[in-house]
Structure 1
């Protein structure tokens, strides 16, 4: 991909992000409504993606104003971690890798380091030793059957949260965090990843004995279908796990998961929201956020593989980025606050369909930064 084209895409990202930062203040965006981002007071599970986008801008420009913008939301992350711990779950990695870890790595800020370590400890506390897994969600409504199942639930998204634990082990020298991350990755590989290398969205265990029970979906089409964004969480999750452990089975699994994803892509390399509808079906939406996560994940794989093999994934990521920019970006729609259109949040709940999602925007920007060689990997 030509540098000139990448610089054009980067300029689009930076300008729209600058305009948004001026409006958002310390707020944390989630999804667009009529082209304008809504906000989650405590960040929900997505708050880190906005700060991550701002840190990418800081890396690209060296302008301290971006660091200042990224830190405006620190009060919300601090309150969430220390005063509202009951609202946190396995998404502590998403929240604090792209806010606190990014801040510390780029600036050496010691308060950010401590917040990230405390978040890693909170994530480690969710580990269930009998089942060798990290409990994903909390029991939101005691007595409700679905909510009660959360005591023994993992979800594929957690694979992308594990780098917080790997980082904490490297930072502190305490192997506890690393061992928990490896246990989660190994358990996920045996349960939530199917033999054909498609993935369940969630998997249930007996929380007392740790016995594996069954796979279920929540955001996918059906229990036995393959939710496209979940597949990308798995691809990138195992690629990042390989970066930290160099366990060859993790990279092998990432490649097998990637091939399943690639084989089910649409002609323009952007997937349907669930691969049950691969090939397109009237009334069923795409998910550009899955496409963006895939591009960033393929670039992570490319950075870790031998040059010739890695070049395949880099070229694929370049083609995805080009398609997202040309066919799905808001480059010609200045009133749209998101970077990418046609993302799908939670189709079964009819929530956030054909919108911009902050995590789709983030991974699109991360992929561009990686292609330009202008980002230090936070994960």
Structure 2
């Protein structure tokens, strides 16, 4: 029988209670939870007087100051989402209070159609709020957000458009797989199959055109309008058009694992297994689980690491294991994810309290080709690290 753990635990329609870690959690885990709790509240204190117009901490700048963004930035939902997850891990009500404060600052985004990442922005914030400390408006806000995401879907192309900039006719990036979760959720909540149908159409065409034979992913695939035919395959944030951008592989394994959760389509599950296999077989070394920012970076082993890619991968594997019939493979996923989390929770990656501007993890890469956010903290690294930690806690029953 297939395990049902994350169908129950991580389906966003299920409202769950929050509890502090029980006795028996390993020391590295308890230290990481304590540090994360402290860092997020420390950051909130540092930013308490920042105007609401640009209050979302995304990363740090070259001078060490905060990189703050407004609500329309694609990363705006990760800081409140991180606080919700940290609250779920520790039970600290101060985190829930700050999480709600930052979540509510995103309310107007429910009607924003200028960003395909509204799934990241709203589902990571309001989705977790709805699970943990729901307010009457939360569900409606997420449904409206799903409508806004659907506005970027072209029936002719069969995909949700990712970007509105650049020379591409109709660009779609692998990252967009992550935003489908909100659409699946909306379909379950409303009974309207439109959201699910759009998510499946996007997942199917992405699987057809984004992946190479070894299941590494192109970052950007552009389509001709109105024919919907592929006009180019390349990258924007990776090393080269033909390379395997690390976070892109992580988005892929997470995205297709999540799609399997909602559809039980074995094609998605097989895709997730194959992407996971590439990641696991191409780690830096036998005892090193944090990938370089691109698997084909020319200066390996001196290339920067990407903790964000590792965190997303760990979270994905902790769900993928639950759908894996092969016991040895299932165990391998758990072990690999555990090793990622232990390494991220070590002094090499886990910040000291009151340092790193309050971010939890160090050493992530945003866009190396643009010299943007290289070897810095990133709020989405923190988010998926905490999500993976929560999934690990549920698995181990601490």
User: Common fold, TM-score beyond 0.5?
Assistant: yes
In the alignment, is residue 348 of structure 1 matched against residue 366 of structure 2? no
Per residue, is there more helix in 1 or in 2?
1
In the alignment, is residue 162 of structure 1 matched against residue 183 of structure 2? no
Among 360, 363, 378, the residue aligned to 2:384 = 363
Encode CA deviations 1:178-226: one digit per residue, 9 max, x unaligned. 0110111100100011222010001011121111222110001111111
Stretches of 4+ moved more than 6 A in 1?
Answer: none
Encode CA deviations 1:206-255: one digit per residue, 9 max, x unaligned. 12111122211000111111100001000000000000111111111001
**Once structures 1 and 2 are overlaid, which stretch shifts more, 259-268 or 218-227?**
259-268
In the alignment, is residue 303 of structure 1 matched against residue 322 of structure 2? yes
Aligned pair in 2 of structure 1 residues 330, 60: CA closer, same or farther (>3 Å)?
closer
| 1:372 counterpart residue number | 393
Aligned pair in 2 of structure 1 residues 363, 240: CA closer, same or farther (>3 Å)?
same
Encode CA deviations 1:136-168: one digit per residue, 9 max, x unaligned. 112x4xxxxx24x1x411100011111000000
Query: Where do residues 88-107 of structure 1 align in structure 2 (5 Å cutoff)?
Result: 88-107=114-133
Aligned-residue offset at 1:352:
0.7
Instruction: Tell me, in whole angstroms, the C-alpha distance in 1 between the residues paired with 2:212 and 2:132.
Output: 38
| 2:291 counterpart residue number | 271
Instruction: Tell me, in whole angstroms, the C-alpha distance in 2 between the residues paired with 1:372 and 1:311.
Output: 16
Among 185, 189, 196, the residue aligned to 1:171 = 189
In the alignment, is residue 184 of structure 1 matched against residue 202 of structure 2? yes
| 1:143 counterpart residue number | none
**Once structures 1 and 2 are overlaid, which stretch shifts more, 260-269 or 32-41?**
32-41
Aligned-residue offset at 1:4:
3.1
In the alignment, is residue 52 of structure 1 matched against residue 81 of structure 2? yes
| 1:291 counterpart residue number | 310
Aligned pair in 2 of structure 1 residues 97, 374: CA closer, same or farther (>3 Å)?
farther
TM-score norm. by structure 2 comes to 0.86
Among 206, 210, 215, the residue aligned to 2:233 = 215
Query: Where do residues 192-211 of structure 1 align in structure 2 (5 Å cutoff)?
Result: 192-211=210-229
In the alignment, is residue 126 of structure 1 matched against residue 152 of structure 2? yes
Among 26, 36, 47, the residue aligned to 1:3 = 26
Q: Secondary structure at the match of 1:367?
A: helix
Q: Could you list the runs of 5+ residues in structure 2 that have no partner in the other structure?
A: 1-23
Aligned pair in 2 of structure 1 residues 279, 318: CA closer, same or farther (>3 Å)?
farther
Q: Contact between 1:321 and 1:368, CA under 8 Å: does it hold in 2?
A: yes
Aligned-residue offset at 1:331:
3.9
Q: Contact between 2:116 and 2:163, CA under 8 Å: does it hold in 1?
A: yes
Instruction: Tell me, in whole angstroms, the C-alpha distance in 2 between the residues paired with 1:12 and 1:238.
Output: 31
Q: Contact between 1:236 and 1:294, CA under 8 Å: does it hold in 2?
A: yes
Aligned pair in 2 of structure 1 residues 106, 242: CA closer, same or farther (>3 Å)?
same
Instruction: Tell me, in whole angstroms, the C-alpha distance in 1 between the residues paired with 2:283 and 2:80.
Output: 30
Q: Secondary structure at the match of 2:296?
A: helix
Aligned pair in 2 of structure 1 residues 32, 328: CA closer, same or farther (>3 Å)?
farther
| 2:67 counterpart residue number | 38
TM-score norm. by structure 1 comes to 0.90
| 1:137 counterpart residue number | 163
RMSD: 2.1
Instruction: Tell me, in whole angstroms, the C-alpha distance in 1 between the residues paired with 2:47 and 2:394.
Output: 28
| 1:259 counterpart residue number | 277
Q: Secondary structure at the match of 1:51?
A: helix
Q: Could you list the runs of 5+ residues in structure 1 that have no partner in the other structure?
A: 141-145
